[in-house]
Amino acid sequence: MDKITRSLIDELLRVEEISSEGESKDFEKLVNYTVISNEYNKTFELDLVTVGDGNDTGIDGIAIIVNGLLVETIDEIDELIEKNDRLDTTFIFIQAKTSSSFSGSDINSFIFGVKDFFSEKPKLLRNDDIVKFAELANYIYDQASFLKKSPDIKLYYVTTGKWLSDLNLSGIIESGKLDLETKNLFDRVVFHIYGAKELTSAYRKTKENNIATVNFSKRVTIPQIDGVSESYVGLLPFSEFRKIIVDDNDNLKNVFEDNVRDFQGKDNDVNNGISRTINGDSSSLFSVLNNGVTIVASNVSSTGDTFVIRDYQIVNGCQTSNMLYSNRLSEGINNVFVPLKVVATTNEEIKNQITLATNNQTPIKKEQLAALTEFQRNLERYYNSFNGDERLHYERRSKQYNTDTSVIKARIITIPIQIKSFSAMFLQNPHLVTSFFGSIVNKLNSGSSPIFQNDHAYESYYTSALAFYRLEGLFKRKIIDTKYKKARFHLLMVFKELVNNNETIFLSSQKQMERYCKPLLSILNDDDKCIKYYKASADIIDNSDFDLNDKQQVKSSKNTQNILDTAKKYKQSH
């Protein structure tokens, strides 16, 4: 293995806080991380996409991306159907070989494994991960009425060698693509071959800031403003606007501020109106019917009409951008001009003011948006007050730490993880957070959720996040069996119950929450005690007759209460 690839592996193991499992397994992780990071615009858990083990059917990594989200369960697919009324799906399959050459037999085995994955009567033995992903794929095809088009499929075959476009190997690949195309299951079949050079280039792309180069001819310059280096307003044809929101793989870019709100789905009066305008006879009126998009960037440079926008976020226009992306293949899209405001500033307060002032098109209460935005920023500041081994990084914008090499990725807490950890530990509802958190976000947007309330003490959020991080570390170190990952949010709840007495929780009282969280933090920051309490929590899960393989039990409130009762009995006897 060359020195550059070895150094990339070492870096990945360090930032993900993963122990080496040998060159082959480590290379698989590097390849899976690199490929999926370029295909998926949010933070993800590497273990969830790594399937290479016994009976892996020649496949080392799998990702199923539906409507821009990496799905793990059937429940998540159902939520996306309810939210978006469509399924836009991409299947990604990866094979990683440490060999410095490209093997025709290995490529053939990889292709056969992928074909067998979609077979109604599979011939190859499958491990649990392959079975799980195959069930998800089958379920997606069972929902054919929601498929706007057939899913795309992408295959990545990666080695440490140099690809020289060998005719025989190219023939094997083309034959395999044809076999997959004749199944009539896919809209597009794409096969990527990576050697060491291509892998290194793709890995480096995962650390780049957002950058877009567009022709912005229909614009006017906004007069000089204190704290703003440059600002413009104008109209951008969709053919240029797509460069801002769509990446080289035809995926929606990670460019949206405040991802706690997320895309609200098509079942929304404003978004339905956007879609009707694009697809109707009035698509040319889009620019006068839509409030448009506001971009805040760290730097904007221009030469004539050519603008280079660097390190940018869309602070207003998430819904508009998502609907334009969803309709990017529509005939009327070529007539669409997008109202665009571009502001270059590094002043966080100005950026915050722009976000609040411009978000008024979709029906979210302005006071709720303000509270969410301010709470998120303050929570991030609270996280930053910790140092050393207690330091975590709160990611209120997807992949906001990608370019910061000092940040250990394993210590990043995303908004979904924060929501799930807090809900499980302090609201005692782990059964509600086992899948995608979209239903919770809907409550956040309406102001009816008991999460991220403006008067909440930050201690409970940080404590639940640290508990999650410590538990993940025990999984990685093989101290807690990974079979309990299916119940990890139940474990957070039990851990809290074991540490603290039956004291009433007052989430809005900083003084009370400091006192409540102090013993939790003390144990979480003592490795021996942390292990002891999490092992006891796992024992309680076992003693509660919790069937980890029963998906319905994981979602059952009755099962949650049974676990709490078992924990209470355990405390009484110890």
Q: Is 291 helix (H, G, I), strand (E, B) or coil?
A: coil
Q: Do 199 and 269 share a domain, yes or no?
A: no
- pLDDT (0 to 100) of residue 269: 57
- Per-position DSSP letters for 315-341, written without gaps between them: EE-HHHHHHHHHTTTSGGGGG-EEEEE
Q: Does the global pTM surpass 0.75?
A: yes
Q: What is the strand order of the sheet 218-221 is part of?
A: 211-215, 306-316, 293-303, 337-344, 230-237, 218-221
Backbone angles phi, psi at 19, to 5 degrees: -80, 145
Q: State the average pLDDT for the chain.
A: 87
Other beta carbons within 10 Å of 296: 28
pLDDT over 90 percentage in the chain: 58
Angle ∠(279,283,287) on CA atoms, nearest 5: 135
Q: Do 76 and 127 share a domain, yes or no?
A: yes
Q: What is the pLDDT of residues 536-554, one digit of tens each?
A: 999 999 999 888 888 888 8
The 8-class DSSP code of residue 423 comes to H
Q: What is the pLDDT of residues 408-456, one digit of tens each?
A: 999 999 888 998 999 999 999 898 886 655 556 665 555 556 788 888 9
- pLDDT (0 to 100) of residue 265: 53
Angle ∠(444,446,450) on CA atoms, nearest 5: 45
State which of 323, 339, 363 marks the end of a domain. 363
Q: How confident is the model at residue 240 (pLDDT cuts 50, 70, 90)?
A: very high
State which of 363, 398, 413 marks the end of a domain. 363
Answer yes or no: is pLDDT of 268 > 90: no
Asked if residue 92 lies in contact with residue 39, where contact means CB atoms within 8 angstroms, the answer is yes
Q: For residues 246-258, give the mean pLDDT.
A: 80
Q: How many domains does the chain have?
A: 3
- pLDDT (0 to 100) of residue 248: 85
Q: For residues 309-334, give the mean pLDDT.
A: 86
Q: For residues 304-308, give the mean pLDDT.
A: 95
Q: Do 394 and 523 share a domain, yes or no?
A: yes
Q: Do 175 and 315 share a domain, yes or no?
A: no
Q: Do 176 and 229 share a domain, yes or no?
A: no
Q: Do 344 and 466 share a domain, yes or no?
A: no
Answer yes or no: is pLDDT of 83 > 50: yes
Q: How confident is the model at residue 219 (pLDDT cuts 50, 70, 90)?
A: very high
Q: What is the pLDDT of residues 346-370, one digit of tens each?
A: 887 787 777 766 655 444 454 445 5
Q: Do 173 and 235 share a domain, yes or no?
A: no
86, 63, 77: which is closest to 322 by C-alpha? 86
State which of 190, 205, 220 marks the end of a domain. 205
User: Under the phi-then-psi rule, with left for phi > 0, alpha for psi from -120 to 50, and beta for the rest, what region is 17?
Assistant: left
Rounded Cα–Cα distance for residues 203 and 186 (Å): 27
Asked if residue 29 lies in contact with residue 18, where contact means CB atoms within 8 angstroms, the answer is yes
- pLDDT (0 to 100) of residue 250: 85
Query: Between the CA atoms of 265, 269, 273 and 274, what dihedral angle is there, to the nearest 10 degrees?
Result: -30
Q: Do 270 and 393 share a domain, yes or no?
A: no
Answer yes or no: is pLDDT of 99 > 60: yes
Backbone angles phi, psi at 212, to 5 degrees: -140, 140
Q: For residues 43-69, give the mean pLDDT.
A: 90
Asked if residue 157 lies in contact with residue 194, where contact means CB atoms within 8 angstroms, the answer is yes
* Domain residue limits at 136: 3-205
- pLDDT (0 to 100) of residue 449: 66
Q: Do 100 and 36 share a domain, yes or no?
A: yes
Q: Do 51 and 126 share a domain, yes or no?
A: yes
Q: Do 377 and 400 share a domain, yes or no?
A: yes
Q: Do 324 and 399 share a domain, yes or no?
A: no
The 8-class DSSP code of residue 215 comes to E
Asked if residue 214 lies in contact with residue 241, where contact means CB atoms within 8 angstroms, the answer is yes
Q: For residues 477-488, give the mean pLDDT.
A: 92
